[in-house]
């Protein structure tokens, strides 16, 4: 139990900050580009309570912690955006969608830079701070890369809709109602089917794990930590 509490203490703040600032960045970008829906609803805020989703912010991270997953993952309530109210709806959709992952990349880089500070703090406090910062890098990179998968309703899907020619964009946007089912199928059902057939199919590792590992090492080099 003591070990679990310690592990939780190194993940809670990184996860809350990652998902909160991701959603707040969407709302801030939308407000700057003409849609004040999120601002009027109080969602352009760094207060985690305004963004809490019971399943994604509480239940899933706790379940992952109890099952000793290698890292915690979660999400917040999506920030409401009225794309029609944006100054240039098709172009600005791309900018609003990209704002969340870009905020995560910025936080991951900031955490990498702050590792320099943790290395100068000795004892248990320094180790605890170092683990928080490394976990912050991981969760922010996972959120950024996962959300950039080009499939609606993920941010990458909205970016694709904004960049594609209108006829293709309209067809691609229709995938949104099936997007969640496709994601669940790829990440959870395919691996189960593969396991039954004796094949190791880990779509999450291929789509997210590989780029996250590369970016994690890259940011440490950019920050001068290694």
176 catalytic? Reply is no
pLDDT of res. 2? 81
pLDDT at 190: 81
**191 contact partners, CB below 8 Å, separation of at least 6:** 200, 201, 202, 203
Catalytic residue among 3, 23, 131, 176: 23
In the chain, where the domains are located: 2-222
Cα torsion 207, 83, 73, 45 to 10°: value is 150
Write out residues in the chain with pLDDT < 70, as ranges: 1, 69-73
**pLDDT tens profile 155-164:** 999 999 999 9
DSSP 8-state assignment for residue 84: G
Beta strands in 32-92 (DSSP E): none
Token pair for residue 121?
């703090």
Residues 6 or more apart whose Cβ sits within 8 Å of residue 2? none
Name the region of 205 (left: φ>0; alpha: ψ -120 to 50; beta: rest): alpha
E strand residue ranges, 3-111: none
Q: Judge residue 124's burial from the number of C-beta atoms within 10 Å of its C-beta, 0-12 exposed, 13-18 middle, 19 or more buried.
A: exposed
């Amino acid at each position: 139990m003591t070990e679990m509490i310690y592990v939780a203490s190194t993940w809670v703040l990184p996860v809350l900050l990652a998902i909160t600032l991701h959603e707040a960045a969407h709302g801030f970008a939308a407000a700057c580009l003409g849609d004040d829906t999120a601002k009027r609803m109080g969602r352009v805020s760094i207060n985690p309570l305004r963004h809490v989703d019971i399943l994604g912010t509480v239940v899933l991270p706790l379940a992952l912690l109890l099952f000793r997953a290698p890292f915690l993952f979660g999400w917040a309530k999506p920030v409401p955006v009225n794309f029609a109210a944006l100054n240039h709806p098709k172009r600005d959709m791309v900018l609003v969608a990209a704002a969340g992952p870009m905020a995560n990349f910025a936080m991951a880089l900031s955490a990498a830079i702050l590792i320099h500070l943790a290395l100068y703090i000795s004892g248990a406090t320094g180790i605890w701070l170092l683990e928080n910062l490394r976990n912050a890098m991981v969760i922010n990179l996972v959120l950024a890369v996962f959300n950039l998968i080009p499939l609606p309703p993920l941010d990458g899907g909205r970016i694709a809709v904004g960049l594609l020619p209108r006829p293709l964009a309209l067809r691609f946007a229709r995938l949104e109602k099936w997007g969640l089912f496709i994601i669940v199928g790829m990440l959870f059902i395919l691996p189960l089917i593969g396991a039954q057939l004796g094949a190791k199919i880990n779509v999450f590792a291929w789509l997210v794990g590989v780029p996250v590992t590369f970016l994690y090492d890259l940011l440490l080099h950019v920050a001068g930590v290694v």
